[in-house]
Amino acid sequence: MSEAAAAIELRDVHKAFRGKPVLRGVSLRIPEGCTFTILGGSGSGKSVCLKHMTGLLKPDAGRVLALGQEITRLAERELVAVRREVSMIFQSAALFDSLSVYENIAYGLREHRAWSEAQIAARVAACLEAVGLPGAERLMPAELSGGMRKRVGVARGIALEPRVILYDEPTTGLDPANQRRIGELIRSLQARLRITSVVVTHELELCFSISDRVAFLRGGRIEAEGTAAEMRASADPHVQAFLAGLQEGAESAREAGGLHGA
């Protein structure tokens, strides 16, 4: 069987801010059609990696390819076409608070599609149906729960039918039920729409429930990479310590939640 084409590639990418190195030669190959998760501690450069994949950041050295096209030195106007194919879902969902759910999702369609209002309305409805929020068009962002805001952000992200979706900490701040719902949504979109998903997270349950492949970022470099099962069984002491620390933190949070509920 031939190897799947790469949706995203980072080749020896270096990035520093104010002289402080964050990425120190990151190389990743993300196959088309897979769900690929990047794990790492706070400040390890996970989100910095993600922002390179859509051209929001440019590397100090190295190359970035999106769907076979090198985007490293593209001008901002040239990146518009790339971002139609590579959509980023920000941690905060980044909704326009003054616009309704309908207008938030329709925004990109008005910018990039010469569609009638009926076509836009049909697409908005389809996207809301896909994320489990049918009929939510008239709601304002202030009326949405945290989980609903995340799902509206995903609906907006899929409106232009991208080939790749980048998720920056998609479950941060959500309760366990909504965390599972977002994980199920990521997997269902990948299965139904054959979207390539790249997820940055520190949530182990999310990581191991959705991922085809996982990379562990430490000290600005990829410390380990493999399937979810391979990462669980990794003999690398840094991977073991990281996973053990997150597991302990998750268990403490669940216990605290149980005591609070009691």
Mind giving me the DSSP string for 185-243?
Answer: HHHHHHHHH--EEEEE---HHHHHHH-SEEEEEETTEEEEEE-HHHHHT---HHHHHHH
Q: Which residues pair with 148 in a beta bridge?
A: none
Q: Look at 1-5, 181-185, 186-190 and tell me which has the smallest mean pLDDT.
A: 1-5
Q: Look at 14-23, 92-101, 122-131 and tell me which has the smallest mean pLDDT.
A: 92-101
| pLDDT greater than 80 at residue 249 | no
Residue for token digits 């994320």? Answer: 131
Q: What mean pLDDT comes out for the span 147-171?
A: 90
Q: What mean pLDDT comes out for the span 96-104?
A: 93
| pLDDT greater than 80 at residue 142 | yes
What pLDDT digit, counting tens, does each position of 12-69 carry?
A: 999 999 999 999 999 999 999 999 999 988 888 899 999 999 999 999 999 999 999 9
**Percent of the chain scored above 90 by pLDDT?**
52
Amino acid in the structure at residue 153: G
Rounded to two decimals, the pTM is 0.86
Domain covering 6-250, topology: Rossmann fold (3.40.50)
| pLDDT greater than 50 at residue 252 | no
Task: Provide the mean pLDDT of the chain.
Answer: 87
Closest CA to 45 of 164, 202, 225, 221: 221
User: What's residue 44's pLDDT?
Assistant: 85
User: What's residue 30's pLDDT?
Assistant: 95
User: What's residue 246's pLDDT?
Assistant: 59
Binned at pLDDT 50, 70 and 90, residue 100 comes out as very high
Q: Which residues contact 163 (CB under 8 A, 6 or more apart)?
A: 7, 32, 67, 85, 86, 195, 196
Closest CA to 167 of 25, 6, 34, 38: 38
What pLDDT digit, counting tens, does each position of 202-242 carry?
A: 888 889 999 999 999 998 999 999 999 999 898 889 888 88
Q: What mean pLDDT comes out for the span 182-198?
A: 88
User: What's residue 3's pLDDT?
Assistant: 67
- Quote the CA–CA distance of 176 and 178 in Å, as a whole number: 6
Q: What mean pLDDT comes out for the span 147-168?
A: 90
Q: Look at 176-180, 188-192, 250-254 and tell me which has the smallest mean pLDDT.
A: 250-254
Phi, psi of 21 (to 5 degrees): -65, 135
Q: What mean pLDDT comes out for the span 144-152?
A: 88
The separation between CA 144 and the C-alpha centre of its own chain, rounded to angstroms, equals: 21
**Domain locations along the chain:** 6-250
Closest CA to 24 of 44, 54, 53: 44
